[in-house]
Amino acid sequence: MLAEAGTWPRVRPAESRISVEGASALILADITDGPAEAFLIGGEFAHGHAGGDCSLHVALPLPLASAAHDAGWAEPHFLVHEGVLPPNIVMLYAPRDDVEAQVLLGLVRVSYEFALSAARERPPTSARNET
């Protein structure tokens, strides 16, 4: 999933800046500081965990984050419960088969589109700092 998503426009695969060592992140290449509700950190909108568990953390629009939770696809990030992260940051469970992998890829795609939308609403960091 992450390899495929890494080919989408403006996405740069990288090591996560916020997860455990070896976690793979998806980053909007030209964003260094996006709004908290659309990014995990900086331009990172999703990451897959290292160690083979294949779960992911993503930023989703709140209604979809809630629906994914209610449908059993996701749970709030543990830092949501501590008030550190907004309630739309969720962990997606690892897929068990190709059908579930496609559902999760669709959720990652929504996370990407959510990040793109947030990025369009704010100018790049360098442009904001020049004023």
CATH number at residue 39: 3.90.1150
Q: Give the model's confidence band at 127: pLDDT under 50 very low, under 70 low, under 90 confident, else very high.
A: very low
Per residue in 9-60, pLDDT (tens digit) is 999 988 888 787 778 889 998 877 778 789 988 899 998 877 767 789 999 9
- DSSP H helices, 62-97, are 62-70, 78-81
Which residues constitute the domain of residue 43?
Answer: 2-121
Neighbouring residues of 81: CB distance < 8 A, sequence distance ≥ 6: none
Strands (E), 2-118: 11-15, 24-28, 44-48, 56-59, 74-76, 89-92
- The answer to whether residue 5 scores a pLDDT higher than 70 is yes
Does 34 reside within a domain?
yes
Does 112 reside within a domain?
yes
Count of structural domains, the chain: 1
- The answer to whether residue 129 scores a pLDDT higher than 50 is no
Q: Using CA atoms, how far apart are residues 105 and 109, in angstroms rounded to an integer?
A: 6
